Structure 1
Amino acid sequence: MTDPVPRLPSLLEAVLSVGTDLELRATLQRIVDGAAELTGARSAALGMVDPGHDGLLEIRTAGLSATDRSLVGRTDDSLGVPIRVDDEVFGNLCLAGKRGGPFTDEDEQLLHVLAAQAGIAIGNARLYETARQRERWIEGAAAVTNALLSGVAAADALMTVAERARLLADASAGVILQPTDEGGMEIVTASTLDDPGDLVGTTIEPGSPVLEQLLGGEPVFVEDSATDARMTTRVRHRFGPSMLLPLQTAGRLIGTLALPRHRGDRPYTSVERLLATQFASQAALALVLADTQHGRERLAVYEDRDRIARDLHDLVVQRLFATGMMLESTQRRSTDDDVSETLGTAVDELQSTIQEVRTAIFALQQPPADAPTTFRGKVLRETAGAAAVLGFQPSTRFLGAVESRLPEPVAGHLLAALRRALAEASRRPDVSRIEVTVDVTATLPDGRPGVRLTVYDNGAADDGSSTTTETWQSPL
């Protein structure tokens, strides 16, 4: 056996070299390069025992065969030693093709020393990489929480979670699934680098092997979505490694965050799985808090609108009604025909105003941001939409019990007629006033009870007249 002391400077240089970088991949490359240079090997490789731990398969120089890379031990042409990190075998450092002759005992001794120091360097690099990953995921979770609590809409909130998680996990897609009424789960949001295609709407049908775990709030980790028997969706063939993480907090399951990678991409490490699971829990809490905050804000607006509606009813409507009664009484006592006619017109105007105020009260009492479910609400939605084009709000009156007397098919036809009439009115020049009246107390020309829609505007008609009235009616 030759004395390794003459090569001590080269050994020290190699040992120092492997510890100069805290990035894991760079550290491993330095180990491989240092081992080849120290022993005079033409090629070297470091194969990982557990690729899923660090997401790395192999670091090598060129020219090492598959047989050589699997070697642990020594032959004349090859040399291999294990590298241990915390008493566990991290991988096998293998050398081949020594220049100038076979590998010697000295080479093996030097390689064992280098492997021991490499284990320490790898452990430090792992700690650094874990800390750096944890920092990124914590910052990502904080960014998501801030975004959600800033008042984004529900759909935007889910997209915020999916997109941030995709970037943090280096995934090909970030999707969110939510339970369906049929007992399955459906993709409702998808974030991808390119067009998500038909991802949204993809469902996991009831009875799927993975569904019980997801609905139970359990994380699911898949090595290859395309071949795993638990995966049954029609898009599974596109993806390889995947994480399906519950969006759950305080026993409430909001949905599932799925982070698939393309087929052939590296598997998720144990650290990535842990951090992604923690991120999903934090995101679920942020979603619940954002929803609660949004609910409080809506409640405050609703209470304010309800107060305004009560004030209008208790003060304005009652005063208008009392004034109308006074005018009607004065009209009956008046002996002057002109005065009586003027008072009659004033009474009619007051009744019309009362109807419009009551319509406004009804609109204020509707939950804000909700799609209208009543017929009155749907009519008001149509007039509000027209107001955005016209620049002013059409007035609306309802005569009779429109909610109870209008059957659904007739209501649908009336709304379609209203849309057409409002569209035509908006195209007429000089329109500054539109009046919409829905009367379910009308009598049709054939004597049958019916509903009549009247849309009046003061724009110029085709015949040159200054007012236009559109009428639609139907039997009840």
Structure 2
Amino acid sequence: MAAEPDSAEPDSTGSVAAREPLLLEAVLSVGTDLELRTTLQHLVDAAARLTDARYGALGVIDPDRTGGPRLTELFTTGMDADTRAAIGQLPCGDAGLLGVLLRDPRPLRIDDLATDPRSCGIPAGHPPMHSFIGVPVLVRDEVFGDLYLTEKRRGPFTPEDERLVRILAAQAGIAIGNALLFEAARQRERWIEGAAAVTTALLSGTVDDDPLMVVAEQARRLAHASAGVILQPTEEGGMEIVTASTHEDPAALIGTTIAPGSPVLEQLLGGEPVFVDDSATDPRMTTPVRAAFGPSLLLPLQSGGRLIGTLALPRTRGARGYTQEERQLAGQFASQAALALVLADTRQRRERLAVFEDRDRIARDLHDLVVQRLFATGMMLESTRRRARAAEVGSAIGLAVDELESTVQEVRTAIFALQQPPADAPTSLRGRVLKEAAGAAAVLGVTPSTQFIGAVEHRVPEPVAEQLLTTLRRALAATSRRPHVAHIRVTVDADTALPDGRDAVRLTVHDDGDEDGGVGGDEGGGESGGADGTTVTSQWPL
């Protein structure tokens, strides 16, 4: 290492005074932009012009990395795209002269790299380099990175070159500090806006997406991650990816499980954040998809002591690691998102409760007012029919009584449908039959009337219910192919019996369309057609 002179000496490029305009121009060019990456590139370009160096580079250090600092980014000048592609992966700074500067951040000037024993690890395809200057760049008395200059065009680097580069690096440290403050403010603003957008979307109820997907998608964009995934605890004691937002196929991630006993699982279930430098090599990571990712954040989605899950934000292998600022901002986002998820879930529950209460009221009104009045009217007509002397009058009244009974049954079916959860798939046989009928209405253009006789819920076992629903779908599909259908009636009778005396359930589907083909039944039954329409009957033993 060349000794540092007490004062500047002239060299082949001119005196210090002659190069002061170049230095001033370099300092001004570095401080012209508040965008961090642009500022760093200006610094490399200005240092190369100032010293007449063919190549220049600025390595940014990650001071938070476990195991010591290393280079996370390298800004270069003098190399075209083909040269950089021939070199391949940029150095991390663990070995060679780059490693020396990382471990001992003091200016370093070498006349010939080829003869220095500390120089090693030059990759194939790297252009030949001999003269070298390395100077640390300090920001607020902390090493931000190292500035490297090589291959001076006219002879080796001089003490004056080193002095000028040190002055430029000192002035650049101020510009970089300002750019860092601006970047931190802009980054914080972006995360705050993202968290506010998630909260607004979840609480306003204006999005149709899964709330977890809204959180994962927004977090992935804010963190510049390759994926945003949410894991939730499993019954077996592990954690499973239930939501994934990624540029690739999310199906490759959804369903991935962290098995019980994983070193990282105890922290995740305990609501602790986990920071990973490289998912592919970290022994704590055990999932099969870890090989595709590098730096990762695993953040608890926790509010009021309730653990909703874990938000994971992995970046691709070789990508820049997360800074301390990014970790803090992502953690704050996760906390606010968890609170929004809890509040959104509470809002949805209240809305559903309001729907239940309203439907309950309607069902009560139907039962208390409509059904009772219809029943009373039917009783009056039945009494009148018994007193009527003319057979025609009695027959007409009998038909009216039958229609009233059918209407009462349909109103009761409507009451039952109102009592079902509006957003849940029905689990009872009644509910499933009503769902099939409602679904067929969209195709048929006619809403089938539905009647249940007997204790359908308690008497019909699940295997028989599945057969009944399959036959119902086939019968409704056949009805859709018949012309001139204006009325459809579906009857499920659990109070019938087979010819051999066994208890049975019978399905009858009748429509008033023209006859067209046949749909067979089970355990006796079939289809009949005529002037009054088509009737399909099927029955099964109980």
Read off the aligned partner of 2:379 and give its amino acid letter.
M
AA aligned opposite 1:468: T
1:57 alignment counterpart: 73
Deviates more, 1:39-48 or 1:69-78: 69-78
Tell whether the 8 Å contact from 1:52 to 1:268 is kept in structure 2 after alignment: no
- For the Cα contact (< 8 Å) 1:247–1:284, is it kept in 2? yes
Equivalent in 133, 149, 174 of residue 79 of structure 1:
133
Indicate whether 1:19 and 2:73 are aligned: no
Q: Distance in 2 between matches of 1:464 and 1:448?
A: 30
Q: What SS does structure 1 have at the residue aligned with 2:252?
A: coil
- Find the residue that maps to 1:442 and give its secondary structure: strand
Corresponding letter in the other structure for 2:326: E
Over the matched positions of the two proteins, sequence identity in percent amounts to 70
CA distance, structure 2, for counterparts of residue 133 and residue 139 of structure 1: 10
| 1:353-375, Cα deviation, whole Å (9 max, x unpaired) | 10110000010111111111222
The one-letter code sitting in structure 1 at the alignment partner of 2:347 is: Q
Question: Which of the residues 33, 37, 45 maps onto 2:49?
Answer: 37
Superposed displacement of residue 422, structure 1: 1.4
In the TM superposition, what is the alpha-carbon distance from 1:56 to its structure 2 partner? Answer: 4.2
Of 203, 222, 239, 1:168 maps to 222
Change (3 A) 1:231 1:261: same
CA contact (8 A) 1:55 1:269 kept: no
Structure 1 CA distance for aligned equivalents of residues 110 and 315 of structure 2 = 40
Partner of 2:498: 444
* Residue correspondence of structure 1 range 231-246 to structure 2 within 5 A: 231-246=285-300
Residue of structure 1 aligned with 2:338, choices 277, 281, 284: 284
> Per the alignment, in what secondary structure is the counterpart of residue 137 of structure 2?
strand
Q: Which among 378, 382, 392 is matched to residue 338 of structure 1?
A: 392
SS at match of 1:235: helix
Matches within 5 A, 1:67-216: 67=96, 69=98, 72-76=107-111, 77-151=131-205, 156-216=210-270
The residue number in structure 1 matching 2:124 is none
Aligned-partner residue type, residue 347 of structure 1: V
Distance in 1 (alpha carbons) for counterparts of 2:513 and 2:206: 41
**1:202-281 aligned within 5 A:** 202-281=256-335
**Separation (CA, whole Å) in 1 of partners of 2:375 and 2:362:** 18
Q: How does 1:265-414 map to 2 (within 5 A)?
A: 265-414=319-468
Partner of residue 535, structure 2: 469
State the 1:55 CA deviation.
Answer: 8.7
- SS of the aligned residue for 2:250 comes to coil
Distance 2:109 2:406 in 1: 102
Counterpart amino acid of residue 60 in structure 2: M
1 CA distance for matches of 2:42 and 2:209?
Answer: 47
Contact persistence 1:68–1:95 (CA under 8 A):
no
- Post-superposition offset of 1:62: 3.5
1:385 positional shift: 1.0
Q: Is the 8 A contact 2:274 2:298 kept in 1?
A: yes
Which letter does structure 2 place at the counterpart of 1:182? E
> Which residue identity is paired with 1:351?
E
Shift of 1:102: 3.2
- Asked if structure 2 preserves the Cα contact closer than 8 Å seen for 1:169 and 1:272, the reply is yes
CA distance in 1, matches of 2:508, 2:206: 40
Structure 1 residue 7 and structure 2 residue 73: aligned? no
CA shift, 1:319, in A, is 0.1
Q: Unaligned 5+ residue runs, structure 2?
A: 1-7, 10-14, 102-106, 112-130, 517-528
The more displaced of 42-51 and 280-289 is 42-51
How large is the Cα RMSD of the aligned pairs? 2.2
Instruction: Give the corresponding residue for 1:46.
Output: 58
What code does the residue aligned with 1:241 have?
P
Shift of 1:337: 1.2
CA contact 1:68–1:78 (8 Å) conserved in 2? no
More divergent stretch after superposition (461-470 vs 386-395): 461-470
1: distance between equivalents of 2:294 and 2:164?
41
Q: Relative to structure 1, is the Cα distance of residues 158 and 203 closer, same or farther in structure 2, using a 3 angstrom cutoff?
A: same
| Residue aligned with 1:194, SS | coil
AA matched with 1:42: R
Q: Contact conserved, 2:201 with 2:207, CA < 8 A, in 1?
A: no
Separation of aligned partners in 1, 2:110 and 2:230: 54
Q: Aligned in 2, Cα 1:300/1:471: closer, same or farther, shift over 3 Å?
A: same
| Residues in 1 aligned to 2:326 and 2:257: alpha-carbon distance in whole angstroms | 26
In structure 1, the residue corresponding to 2:144 is in which secondary structure? strand
Distance in 2 (alpha carbons) for counterparts of 1:130 and 1:52: 17
CA distance in 1, matches of 2:296, 2:47: 36
CA contact (8 A) 1:68 1:96 kept: no
Secondary structure (helix, strand or coil) at the match of 1:439 reads strand
Partner of 2:145, secondary structure, is strand
Higher mean Cα deviation, 195-204 or 396-405?
195-204
Amino acid at match of 1:470: V
Show structure 1 runs of 5+ residues with no match: none
Superposition deviation, residue 154 in structure 1: 7.8
CA offsets per residue over residues 306-360 of structure 1, 9 Å max, x none? 1111000000000000001101111111121111111111111111110110000
How far, CA to CA, are the matches of 2:380 and 2:71 in structure 1? 86
Q: 2:42 corresponds to which letter in structure 1? A: R
Bigger Cα displacement from structure 2, 151-160 vs 441-450: 151-160
